[in-house]
Amino acid sequence: MSTVLLIVALLVAPNQTGPGALQRLAAQVDCKPGSTDPLRAWCAAASTAGAGFTAPKGPVTYLGLSAPLAASVDVRAALLKANISALSFSDGKVQIVDIGPENDQEKAQLAKVAANLGAALTGQANEIKVAQDLSGFLATLAPAAAAEGHAIKDDPQGAKFQLKGSARAWRVKTQDVEALVFAEDVKDRTFVSVYPLLPYVAR
């Protein structure tokens, strides 16, 4: 699997920060009870108001969906093009790694993972199924986070921490799932990521 670190630099104007992107997302995705919006997997990102952040215990890696939200791009169009990323915690540090395919077989495998993540984020699955080779790669990420990750602390108002710039994180509960939400600013856009707090399982 190819990997690209999601590197963040705070080079944006105050009115283009993560909270603004999350407000745009909340306005564009129907998260009301009973919603059939195909993008409701992103409702955790629309639920950060008043949420705090508590890091998971122990070395752990979660899979989730990530999308860059730029002011010039329609929110729904951006969410439909989301990619898969891995969020790892260890020894008070965090690291985010983008997961991308190197061939058609991996592309097909990751499409299934994305669908599984969508189900998990809408309360229709309780684990994330992955291929054996991806599982092996994911097992290396928490140790890497301990060595190379960025410090993050629990905060009742949501974590604010440094990657190469500024980032924020929340732990939220929706009607469907408990998830971690990360917002990372880079130039004219904010990378928004949602990670269901569910294990990945090799199948």
The mean pLDDT of the chain is 89
What number of residues does the chain have? 203
Q: Per-residue pLDDT averaged across 32-43, rounded?
A: 95
Mean pLDDT of 19-35: 93
Tell me the pLDDT tens digit for each residue of 118-141: 999 999 999 999 999 999 999 999
Give the mean model confidence (pLDDT) for residues 143-165.
Answer: 91
Q: What is the largest CA-CA distance in the chain?
A: 45
Q: What is the DSSP letter of 55?
A: P
Nearest to 185 by CA among 13, 14, 18: 18
Give the pLDDT score at 8.
28
pLDDT confidence of residue 137: 97
Pick the range with the lowest mean pLDDT from 14-18, 52-56, 61-65, 169-173. 14-18
- Host domain of residue 76: 2-202
Buried b (16+ CB within 10 A) or exposed e, 93-110: bbbbbbbebeeeebeebb
pLDDT-above-70 percentage for the chain: 90
Q: Which residue from 55, 80, 50 is spatially nearest to 65, judged by alpha carbons? A: 80
Model confidence pLDDT, tens digit, residues 84-116: 999 999 999 999 999 999 999 999 999 999 999
pLDDT of residue 10: 26
Q: What distance, in Å, lies between the first and last C-alpha atoms of the chain?
A: 17
What does the pLDDT read at residue 94? 96
Q: How many domains does the chain have?
A: 1
Exposed e or buried b per residue across 154-168, where buried means at least 16 C-beta atoms within 10 angstroms of its C-beta: ebeebbebebeebbb
Q: Is pLDDT of 32 > 70?
A: yes
pTM flag (> 0.85): yes
pLDDT at 78: 97
